[in-house]
Structure 1
Amino acid sequence: MASLKEVRGRIVSVSSTQQITKAMKMVSAAKLRRAQDNIMRMRPYAQRLSGILANLSSQTEGSVNNIYSERRDVNNVLIIAVTSDRGLAGAFNANIVKSVVALIERKYSSQAAAGNVTVLTIGKKGLDAFKKKNMPVIDEYSTVFTNLSFDNVRPAAERAMNGFAAREYDQVDLVYNEFKNVATQVVRQEQFLPLEEIPVEATDKATMLVDYTFEPSKEQIIEELIPKSLKIQVYKAVLESNASEHGARMTAMDKATENAGELLKELKLTYNRTRQAAITKEILEIVGGAEALAAK
C-alpha cells in the first residue's frame, strides 16, 4: 500500500491537473462561440456563391470551360489536410491523419508507391504527424491558425490551384473536420480539383430563379468566380476545422475534468484508509507495549 506522503502528493497533482483542464474548457468555450459565429456567417455566403456559379454554368451549356475543370490521368496527387496547431483535443487530429492515410490506401496507393502523393498541411499537428510517416509535405502554411484570416489562408489555396493549373498535380483533395455541434465533428473528404459539375438541383433555389444581367460576358464572370469560389472553399474548410477544434477540446477537457474528479474520490478514499490503518497500527503497538510493561 502506498504511503500517506505518496497519496497526498498524488492528490495535489490530480487537483492541479483538474484546475488546468477546467480552465482550458472555459477558454475553449469562449473561443468556440466566436469560431461558431464565423462559420455560421460563412456558410450562407459560400452556398450562395456556389448557387450563382451553378446558375451561370447551367446557362453556358451546363459546363465550365476552365483550366480548373480539366480532367486528366491522375499521376500526381495533392491532399490538403486541415488539422490544428495544438493538441489536447481528443481524437480531433488523429482522425484527420487516419482519414488521409485511408484515402491514400483506397484511391492513390499506386501514386503513393511511386512517391507522387504530397500533403499540404494546415496546422502544426498534421505537419508533425505526416513528417513522422516520411510523406512529402508542403509546410509553408502550417501556422495559419496563429492569425486566422482569409488573407492568411488564401496563399494555401492559390498554391494548390497554381499547382493544378501548371500540371504539377492532376488531382487535389481536401480533408477537414466539419463542425456539427460541440460534441460532434465529422471528417470530410472532398475533391477540390478538378472542379466537379455542380448539380442545379443541389443549389439554392432562390439563387437559381434570379435572372441576371451580365456585364461583361457570362464566360468572363465565370472565369473570375471560379478562383474566388475555390479560395472560399478552402477558407470555409479552415473555419469549420477551427470551430471543430474548440468543440473537440471543450469536450475532451470536460471529460478530463470529470475523470480527475473520479480519481480524486478514489485517492481520498485510499488516503483515509491508509491513515486509518496507520492509526490502528500505532494503537496496537501502544497497547502491545503497555501490556508488555504490565507483564513485567
Structure 2
Amino acid sequence: MALRRAAQRAVQQIGQQARLEESVLEQTVACSPLAALSGAITMDVAHASQLAVKQQMRSVQNIQKITKAMKMVAASKMRVAQASTERSRGITEPLVTLLGDLPAADVERNVAVAITSDKGLCGGINTTISKVARGTATATGGEGKQNSIVVIGEKGKAQLQRTNRNQIFSTMGDMAKIRITFPLASAVSEELLKTEYDAARIMYNRFVSAITFKPTLATVLSPDALERNAEAGSKIDTYEIEGSDRAELLQDLAEFNLAVTMYNGLLENSCSENASRMAAMDSSTNNASDLLSKLTLSYNRTRQAAITTELTEIVSGAAALEG
C-alpha cells in the first residue's frame, strides 16, 4: 500500500513538472523574437494597406482638381466661341440661300474636308466626323472620279491615316493654338484651292446646345460646277449680273463662299469641341467624387480593422499574463 501511494505521488509530481515545462515553453515562444516579428508583420500589412488606399485617395483628388479646372476652362472658351459662331451664321446663311447647298451634286473631282480637334478628352465628336469623311469619300467615289481628303486637326489625322492614307491630300494641325479668324479661314481655303476641286464637302460638328452637336456636311462648288448645277438648287441665275465678267464674278463668289463656309465650320466645331469637353470633364469630376467616397469608406474600414486587431492582441496578452 505504501509503495502504491509513493508511485501515485511520483506520477503526480511528473505531471506537474510536465505542465510547468509546457507553460514555460509557451511563455518563451510568446516572448520570442519570432512571435514579435509575426505581430509586427500583421501590423505592417495593415499599415501598408492603409497607406495604399490613402495614396489612391490623393491621386483621385489630384485628378479631380485637374478635371474641374479643365471643365471651367472649356466652359469659358465655349462661351466665347458660341458668340463668334452665332455671328458667323449671319454671313453663311445668306450665301447658302443664294448659291444653294448641293450635297448630291455629281462632279468628277471631290475633296472631303474633315474638321476635327487637335486635343482629345472631348467625347466622340472626332470619331463622328471621321466616319462621315469615310462615308463621303466612299459615296462620291467610283469610276472616273477623283477623291481626296483634307484633314484639319491632329485627332482626325490619326484616325483617317489608318484607313484612308492614300486619299489624304494634306493635313493641318495646331489650329487650337491660333485664334479662329476670317483671315485664318481664308488661308485654309487657299490650301483647298490647290486641290482644283469641283466640289468641296466640308464636314464639322454644328453646335446646337451645350449637350447637342449635329454632324454637318456643307458642299461648296467651283464656278464651273456651280454653272452646271444651277438648276439643282442654286438661285444665282435669278439675279441679273451686270458687266461682261460673269466668270470672274462667279470665281470670286465661289472663293468667298468657301472661305465663309470654312470660317463658320471652324467656329462651329470649336464651340462643339469645348462644349463636349466641358460635359466630359463634368462627368469625370462626378466619377472622381464617387470613387473618392468609396476609397474613404475602404480606408475607414481598413483603419477600424487594424485598431480592432491591435485591441484583440492587447486583451489576449493581458489575459495570458493573468492566467
Give the TM-score normalised by structure 2. 0.71
The corresponding residue for 2:318 is 290
The corresponding residue for 2:282 is 254
Percent identity of paired positions between Structure 1 and Structure 2: 33
The corresponding residue for 2:120 is 87
**Take 1:77 and 1:213, find their aligned partners in 2: how far apart are those partners?**
29
**Take 1:255 and 1:171, find their aligned partners in 2: how far apart are those partners?**
40
- Cα deviations by residue, 1:222-272 (Å, 9 ceiling, x for unpaired): 442222112211111111101101100111111111111111111101111
Structure 2 spans left out of the alignment, 5+ residues: 1-45
Structure with bigger RCO (C-alpha 8 Å, 6+ apart) = 1
The corresponding residue for 2:272 is 244
The corresponding residue for 1:131 is 161
Structure 2 contact 157–171 (Cα < 8 Å) conserved: no
Among candidates 205, 220, 224, match of residue 177 of structure 1: 205
- Cα deviations by residue, 1:192-218 (Å, 9 ceiling, x for unpaired): 3455657479x9xxxx9xxx8865468
Q: 1:94 to 1:12 in 2, by over 3 A?
A: same
Which SS does the other structure have where 2:203 is aligned?
A: strand
**Take 1:266 and 1:242, find their aligned partners in 2: how far apart are those partners?**
36
Q: 1:116 to 1:213 in 2, by over 3 A?
A: closer
Q: 5 Å matches for 1:1-296?
A: 3-53=49-99, 72=107, 74=108, 77-105=110-138, 107=139, 117-133=147-163, 135-136=165-166, 137-147=168-178, 148-165=180-197, 171-193=199-221, 194-195=225-226, 197=230, 199=233, 216=243, 219=246, 221-295=249-323
Structure 1 contact 80–172 (Cα < 8 Å) conserved: yes
Structure 1 contact 119–135 (Cα < 8 Å) conserved: no
Q: 1:29 to 1:177 in 2, by over 3 A?
A: same
Structure 2 contact 117–154 (Cα < 8 Å) conserved: yes
**Take 1:283 and 1:127, find their aligned partners in 2: how far apart are those partners?**
62
Q: 1:110 to 1:269 in 2, by over 3 A?
A: farther
Deviation at 1:88, TM superposition (A): 1.0
**Take 2:87 and 2:298, find their aligned partners in 1: how far apart are those partners?**
52
Q: Per residue, is there more helix in 1 or in 2?
A: 2
Q: 1:217 to 1:144 in 2, by over 3 A?
A: farther
**Take 2:193 and 2:90, find their aligned partners in 1: how far apart are those partners?**
24
Structure 1 spans left out of the alignment, 5+ residues: 55-69
Which SS does the other structure have where 1:3 is aligned?
A: helix
The corresponding residue for 1:59 is none
Q: 1:49 to 1:190 in 2, by over 3 A?
A: closer
RMSD: 3.2
How many residue pairs align between the two structures? 264
Matched AA of 1:3 = S
The corresponding residue for 1:65 is none
Matched AA of 1:79 = A
Structure 1 contact 173–191 (Cα < 8 Å) conserved: yes
Task: Give the stretch that moved more between structures: 271-280 or 94-103.
Answer: 94-103
Structure 2 contact 111–200 (Cα < 8 Å) conserved: yes
Structure 1 contact 175–187 (Cα < 8 Å) conserved: yes
Q: 1:276 to 1:135 in 2, by over 3 A?
A: same
**Take 1:223 and 1:79, find their aligned partners in 2: how far apart are those partners?**
20
**Take 2:263 and 2:241, find their aligned partners in 1: how far apart are those partners?**
27
- Cα deviations by residue, 1:5-59 (Å, 9 ceiling, x for unpaired): 11100100000000000000111111111100000001011112333456xxxxx
Deviation at 1:124, TM superposition (A): 1.4
Deviation at 1:182, TM superposition (A): 0.9
Give the TM-score normalised by structure 1. 0.77
